[in-house]
Amino acid sequence: MDSQTVTDRVHCVVELFGVARLLTKTKTVPLELPEGTTLSCLVSVLAERWPILVGRVIGRDKTSLVSGCACNVNGREFVRDPGTQIRTGDNVLILPADAGG
Amino acid sequence: MYGFHGRLLHVDLDAGASAWCALAEERLRSFLGGTGLGTSLLHDYAPRGVDPLSPANPLIFTSAPLVGTGLTTTAKFGVVTKSPLTGFIGDSLSSSHFALELKRAGLDAIVITGRAAATVYLLIDHRHVEIRKAEHLRGKSPKETEAAIISELGSAAVRVASIGAAGESRVRFATISNEGRHAGRGGAGAVMGSKNLKAVAVCGDRDTRVYDPDGVKLTANALRRRSLGSLTDKYRTIGTIANLAVFNRLGVLPARNFQRSTFDYAEALSGETLTESSFAERHGCASCSIRCERLFKSLSGEAQRLEYETLFALGPLCGLQKPDAVIEAARLCDLYGMDTISTGGTLAWAMECHEKELLPEAEQFGLRFSRPEGVLAVIPAIAARSGIGDLLADGSRRAALEIGHDSSDWAMHVKGLELPGYEPRGLKTMALGLAVSPRGACHNRSGAYEADFSGEVDRLSTDSRRGALVAASEDFSAVLDSLIVCKFLRKCFTDFYDEAANLLNKVAGWDFSAADLRRVGERILISKRLFNEREGWQPADDWLPPRLLGEALPTGVARGVTLTGGELSEMIGQYYQARGLDENGFVPARKLRELGLPSHRPMGDDDEK
């Protein structure tokens, strides 16, 4: 692997909460994705890795989250646009959309 | 009349008498049921300036139009009174079979005034009303009281709402409890205790007549289907405790009396961990398809219900790290009938006082952050008002005034009601919602946090939209709480006001538009503010505790973020403007005219029958 290849990849961490965590028995997963990766690409990767998430956390289209789930980047910004670019160093949180308690 | 029975029962405990009164349809159209109807009745039955713990303060139970119609999540009832904790309106909801039986008793509300000479309970058995002796029930928990009354009446059809020892002792945050559920916030249990009323037992056989039974059934089926989709998956799979890990990650989990905004031991207390390690049973209210209640194994062997607010208040807020300790503290609060949020908030205040050497009496209980033995020892003392418990039974605001020094600076309340588990500095819309809520720091009378968690606004900064967002959220909640529909179903409507108005029309035979229903929500909210004004509300009451405005967020991803008094003041101004209030937050005469409300005078034209 040369240095050019390294810079062409996006290294991020996905953090799973709620139903997603219970289904996968996983809290965090580091991902290496192609440069220019969007939120919908990331969701597709998760759907491929954990088909059990499809229908409960990820939509049947395997590119978006179901309406009961939300996405937050780095604990700061809630994102809804599937075209949102994921950058190296990002922590992508998949969590319940409803904060009622 | 469809959807309602058109009557209330007024019980006068001074005279030991009761009377059935007609409820005018105009009042029901204006306020619906639940907290709306209760607010309207409170204006009429509470004398101006009434002491909340005096006989004259009315304790009002309300039903609602959707109760008993078979619609999922609607088995709920309201309890409205002047709160002994805040001195303003206190409105709470509880749910399940008591709600269904209350409506089957053939009434839309019970108004209880006066004080019995000795402890009694109220029995409403169909149209028969009886005030029965209850000295033998004194000291019993709500659960024991329910069982004892059902046993002595020999009827499994009877449903009971009661108080525990805390209500009897007039702890200002005592609950009224039924079937393990609680009308929790604001201390309605203390009002009930002040009337020497241990319980209300009801049964009846009057089914709710609806205008369009087939139409209601169709909508009920659709909502039931939607209630089982992804929008409620969190509640069905983990329950509200799923919030804890998320809030911790977002830096909005209040810990150690809001001295921190994350908790180092959150993982052990998270909903995900508890579900995998300690889950015992899943329950649901009557008529509910979501079934959000989660019970967990406790040290005593009993399965104990745990909600996010209880988990936060008795866990991170007090620094307790171990699930067993939190579950046991929750069990004690239920045993004595105490609001877990105010219990945790008041204990956390006392712990900080002790840390600052202002409360030496706390030492004998070991009341310190992170020490479960202190929490578990002081909860019974509060319920009995013994020792330091007598001070804490009045809530953090009054206790701080009693102790003095600067301890009001870390008494984390609004209008006397302790803050729920949403860190306002990291949730700016919620900060405004908490500051202006008529019942005090409240996460249920508006869902202002939804804007913060949606990405619709930047949760860490303020802008000019927050006032309108909070006002809209309050109106929405007022309608939900008056129909009554559980908030966990709220997102299952496609266009809430349109769909809910159609549903209401099918139930009540009315011709409400979506706009009419919105107007009802606004009318209810303004009526609450109007009641508070009557009872002495001042602009300074719409404010947040000094800590939230003077200290930056201490930990977590939003560390360093602040909320200044200037920012809050600006948002409050926007809110008053969005509400059509005057610049100081008072309700102007034109708003009263617009909503068809009289000014501080009795509403409606009900008659004694």
Q: What tens digit of pLDDT does each residue of B318-334 get?
A: 999 999 999 999 999 99
Task: Say if residue B535 is in the same domain as residue B429.
Answer: yes
Q: Please check whether residue B583 lies inside any domain of the structure.
A: yes
Q: What tens digit of pLDDT does each residue of B256-271 get?
A: 999 999 999 999 999 9
How far B47 CA lies from chain A's nearest CA (Å)? Answer: 34
With contacts defined as CB-CB under 8 Å, which chain A residues touch B238? 18-19, 22
Q: Which of A19, A95, A99 comes nearest B237 by C-beta?
A: A19
B443 C-beta neighbours (distance < 10 Å), count: 24
Q: Please check whether residue B221 lies inside any domain of the structure.
A: no
- Summarize the confidence of residues A70-94 as an average pLDDT: 96
Given CA atoms B602, B114, B37, B21 in this order, what sign does their dihedral have? negative
Task: Say if residue B124 is in the same domain as residue B197.
Answer: yes
Q: Please check whether residue A83 lies inside any domain of the structure.
A: yes
pLDDT at residue B604 is higher than 50? no
The pLDDT assigned to B605 comes to 44
**8 Å CB contact of A75 and B488:** no
Q: Please check whether residue A6 lies inside any domain of the structure.
A: no
Confidence of residue A2 (pLDDT cuts 50, 70, 90): very low
- Domain count for chain A: 1
The pLDDT assigned to B298 comes to 87
The pLDDT assigned to B127 comes to 87
User: Which of B166, B184, B203 is where one domain is finished?
Assistant: B203
Task: Say if residue B464 is in the same domain as residue B395.
Answer: no
How far B427 CA lies from chain A's nearest CA (Å)? Answer: 11
Mutate: best of A78, A81, A92, partner B, most B CBs <10 A: A78
Q: Please check whether residue B237 lies inside any domain of the structure.
A: yes
Q: Which residues contact A61 (CB under 8 A, 6 or more apart)?
A: none
Task: Say if residue B395 is in the same domain as residue B450.
Answer: no
Task: Say if residue B126 is in the same domain as residue B41.
Answer: yes
With contacts defined as CB-CB under 8 Å, which chain B residues touch A76? 460, 557-558
User: Which of B393, B418, B443 is where one domain is finished?
Assistant: B418
Task: Say if residue B404 is in the same domain as residue B512.
Answer: no
pLDDT at residue B603 is higher than 50? no
Confidence of residue B302 (pLDDT cuts 50, 70, 90): confident
| C-alpha closest to that of B59 among B40, B85, B38 | B38
Task: Say if residue B413 is in the same domain as residue B434.
Answer: no
Determine the residue of chain B that is closest to A55 in CA distance.
B230
The pLDDT assigned to A7 comes to 63
Q: What tens digit of pLDDT does each residue of B197-251 get?
A: 999 999 999 998 999 999 999 999 999 999 999 999 999 999 999 999 999 999 9
The pLDDT assigned to A6 comes to 53
Question: Considering chain B, what percentage of its residues have pLDDT values greater than 90?
Answer: 96
pLDDT at residue A3 is higher than 50? no
Q: Please check whether residue B210 lies inside any domain of the structure.
A: no
What is each CA distance from B498 to B59, B516, B517, B540, in whole angstroms? Answer: 33, 10, 9, 37
The answer to whether residues B279 and B331 touch, using CB atoms and an 8 Å cutoff, is no
Q: Which of A19, A66, A80 comes nearest B455 by C-beta?
A: A80
Q: How far is CA B312 from the centre of its chain?
A: 16
Confidence of residue B114 (pLDDT cuts 50, 70, 90): very high
Q: Please check whether residue B551 lies inside any domain of the structure.
A: yes
User: Which of B399, B418, B437 is where one domain is finished?
Assistant: B418
With contacts defined as CB-CB under 8 Å, which chain B residues touch A18? 234, 237-238, 242, 245-246, 271-272
The answer to whether residues B403 and B225 touch, using CB atoms and an 8 Å cutoff, is no
- Domain count for chain B: 3
Q: Return the CATH number at B34.
A: 3.60.9.10
pLDDT at residue B181 is higher than 80? yes
Task: Say if residue B259 is in the same domain as residue B401.
Answer: yes
Task: Say if residue B413 is in the same domain as residue B428.
Answer: no
Q: What tens digit of pLDDT does each residue of B279-290 get?
A: 999 999 999 999
Residue entry with tokens 């819309």: B429
Task: Say if residue B305 is in the same domain as residue B275.
Answer: yes
**8 Å CB contact of A96 and B491:** no
Residue B73 belongs to what domain range?
7-203
pLDDT at residue B358 is higher than 70? yes
Task: Say if residue B330 is in the same domain as residue B441.
Answer: no
d(Cα A16, Cα B346) in Å, to the nearest integer? 34
**8 Å CB contact of A96 and B242:** yes
Task: Say if residue B411 is in the same domain as residue B428.
Answer: no
Q: Please check whether residue A32 lies inside any domain of the structure.
A: yes
Q: Please check whether residue A73 lies inside any domain of the structure.
A: yes
* pTM to 2 decimal places: 0.96
Q: Please check whether residue B211 lies inside any domain of the structure.
A: no
d(Cα B206, Cα B106) in Å, to the nearest integer? 6
Residue A68 belongs to what domain range?
11-96
pLDDT at residue B608 is higher than 80? no
Q: Return the CATH number at A36.
A: 3.10.20.30
